[in-house]
Amino acid sequence: MNRKKRDFFLKLLLIVGSTAVIMLLLPHNDVQDYVYEENQPWRYPLLMADFDMEVKRDAESAQRMRDSIDRNFLPIIKRQDDKADRRIQMFNKAITGKTPDVSRLVLNKLLNEIYARGVLDSKVYDRIQAAPGHEARTASKINGADALITIDCNTMLSPAMAFEFIDSAYRVSGAPVIEQHNDEIAASLNTILVPNVVLDTAADQKFRKQEYLAADASIGVIKKGQRIVDRGEIVTPQIFTNLNTYLQKVAENHSDDHTDTYFYVGQALFILICFAGLYIFLAEYREQFFSSLRKMLFLMTFITLFVVFAVLMFEYFRNGIYLVPFAAVPVVILVFFDSRTAIFSLLVTVMVSSMVALEPMQFIFLELAAGLTAAFSMRTLSRRGQLLKTAALSFVAYVLAYTTLLLLDHGTLAGYEWRLIGIFAINAVVLSFVYILILVIEKLFGFTSNVTLVELSDINSPLLRRLAQEAPGTFQHSMQVSMLAAEGARAIGANTQLVRTGALYHDIGKLYNPLFFTENQHNVNPHDGLDPEVSAQKIISHVTKGLELAQKEKLPEMVRQFIPEHHGKSLTKYFYNTAVNNNPDPEHPIDKKPFMYPGPNPRSRETAILMMADSVEAASRSLTDYSTEAIDSQVDKIIDGQVHDGMFRDSPISFKDVEEIKVAFKKRLQTMYHGRVAYPEIRQQEDTAQNQPAAN
């Protein structure tokens, strides 16, 4: 597999992997999740019914109705006469031989009488006595249907009352009683006096549930398209019940497995389409980014992690998705890519994250307003203080966008949520600290931000301070080249800060042998007496030594590129020409290779600009005439020669760019070497001035 196919496969794997990660963390439910409480405002948009829905009583009202049914529900009882007969037989057996037959007959008669009247369970008796009219009901069949018959229970007795009745009637009867057996008779009565009229549990539950149906029955209908609750409305118990009913019905309607599968497929396709749009944009308009696997890895990882963070914040915090600083997406990407890529990445991130937002359109409008404001407020990030301004503008954009949406939706600011404004403020504060994230990304992916370039261009940095002390001529040359190259970069819209920083470090290799370079010599030239090839190697070595020093000092890769590319594969013409002129055998020409820099030739617009600036600045020092014509001629000669030698074939610089750079160089050099006005000298003799009287 060649490299091109491998990179294509890895990029495809990136987009599939990012989609899979997001899909795993997305709430896999196409039913909207709402969090609400009774007697609290509804904080979501207007909710309307998607279908006809029966309206039930709220839980409190239904419970009150059930309580009322329980209070007024007449007990349903049934007689168990076979139980009474068995108990009387048990009693006769127990007292036989212990009391006269006359007494036994009296007791039997009394037992039959009370069982005929009915002995009720104590709890049932209390319920009947508490009911109006002391009535109960019995289940019966009327024309084959279950029915209830109300009966008068005034004559029925509880077990205690039955015992008292028998005791009292027995004593009044005057039946002969054997005194020593009275306690045994009383104990036998207590044993056999059990209720023969009991609660009909099955019928009681059946008919009670039938009456409960009235409490749970529908009290109305909410038609499709009818309002259920609106934003800011208090969730009353009835609305609370309506919401529960509606959401339960929605969940039931979406419980079908095929529906869930289609929904997941839709989610995956949505994410893939968003990422595919980003890929197409980069492949068509930002090929330099798309061709870099490292940059694509960062871009997809960054967007995916932002979406994952948004999903988690949505899941665990109320309005948590608005705490996510989406405006940081264009800010960070702008630092390492460009403005269009930053804006497109913001769009993709917001669109994918909107899948979990409660109000997708509101979310998209708010985040794009803040994100685009952040992107437009900062062309390049060169100072950390810029983030404070960007964060403040982002907060203002949030507030204005939110106010606009509120006015559009309701035509009033009555529902203004100050809590949401506080969330926007926290969001802005987090955005102001995105500088830390930029530093982390630089370390992880080997990128270099403008902030780092600005810090490196500080002439008080250790390496530049050393250059100023040990090779002051080279340091001054680098400063002049830096200013000249920055003008050229500004003229064609290249990375000015990168060119400026690269120019300051392009000659650091001269620290090893500073005296071998003209700008550091003082009437002593160590090349005198050296073979031209040896001298050439001394000069060329500042490139290889510079790369070694840059690696040791851990300069960023994009800065190190300026060291070999500012000379490219050009010749050290002075020593090559000298070698050719001194060649004693013209039939054997001088080999150019020992006199050539190792290269490569410039591969970016920025390194191409530095090559031009370095040569033009060095050549301008040899000028004796700094007229406009002389400067223009020198600039044209140097740069046209480099173009002719093919020095810029590997860089994306155009002929138009070259012409604009020439113009910028000429203006800058004319400013640097402008003629100065000669100060007039005093013609009078100094002693004449001394003879003048002093002023008082």
pLDDT, tens digit (0-9, with 9 covering 90-100), for 620-638 = 888 888 888 999 999 999 9
pLDDT value at residue 97: 65
Helix (H) or strand (E) holding 48: strand 47-48
pLDDT value at residue 647: 94
**How does DSSP classify residue 157?**
B
Domains of the chain: 69-214 (no CATH), 270-445 (1.10.1760), 456-672 (1.10.3210)
- Which of 55-59, 288-292, 537-541 has the least mean pLDDT? 55-59
d(Cα 222, Cα 551) in Å, to the nearest integer?
74
Nearest to 323 by CA among 311, 333, 341: 311
The encoded tokens of residue 305 equal: 């992690």
pLDDT, tens digit (0-9, with 9 covering 90-100), for 487-501 = 999 999 998 999 999
Taking CA atoms, 151 is separated from 128, 148, 510, in Å, by 11, 10, 120
Q: How far apart are the first and last CA of the chain?
A: 97
What is the amino acid identity at position 43? R
CB atoms within 10 A of CB 675: 8
The encoded tokens of residue 342 equal: 């930053």
This model's pTM is above 0.85: no
Helix (H) or strand (E) holding 146: strand 145-152
Taking CA atoms, 153 is separated from 139, 457, 607, in Å, by 15, 106, 111
d(Cα 352, Cα 303) in Å, to the nearest integer?
9
pLDDT, tens digit (0-9, with 9 covering 90-100), for 580-595 = 888 877 777 888 899 9
CB atoms within 10 A of CB 618: 15
**How does DSSP classify residue 229?**
E
Q: In this predicted model, which residue has the larger pLDDT, 514 or 72?
A: 514
Please calculate the CA angle 28-32-35 and round it to the nearest 5 degrees: 115
Bridge partner list, 48: 227
Gyration radius from the chain CA atoms = 50
Longest C-alpha distance within the chain, in Å? 175
**Phi and psi torsions of 677, nearest 5°:** -75, 130
648, 601 Cβ separation under 8 angstroms: yes
SS3 384: coil
Report whether pLDDT(555) > 70. Answer: yes
Q: In this predicted model, which residue has the larger pLDDT, 613 or 693?
A: 613
Q: Quick one: what percent of the chain has pLDDT higher than 90?
A: 38
Cis peptide before 600 (omega within 30 of 0): yes
Report whether pLDDT(177) > 50. Answer: no
d(Cα 207, Cα 216) in Å, to the nearest integer?
15
Burial category of 398 from C-beta neighbours within 10 Å (exposed 0-12, middle 13-18, buried 19 and up): buried
Burial category of 270 from C-beta neighbours within 10 Å (exposed 0-12, middle 13-18, buried 19 and up): middle
d(Cα 551, Cα 563) in Å, to the nearest integer?
11
Please calculate the CA angle 672-673-678 and round it to the nearest 5 degrees: 120
pLDDT, tens digit (0-9, with 9 covering 90-100), for 413-435 = 776 788 889 999 999 999 988 88
Arithmetic mean of pLDDT over the chain: 84
d(Cα 561, Cα 601) in Å, to the nearest integer?
10
**Phi and psi torsions of 77, nearest 5°:** -120, 165
Helix (H) or strand (E) holding 323: none
Q: Quick one: what percent of the chain has pLDDT higher than 70?
A: 90
**Contacts (Cβ under 8 Å, ≥6 apart) of 228:** 47, 48, 49, 222, 239, 242, 243, 246
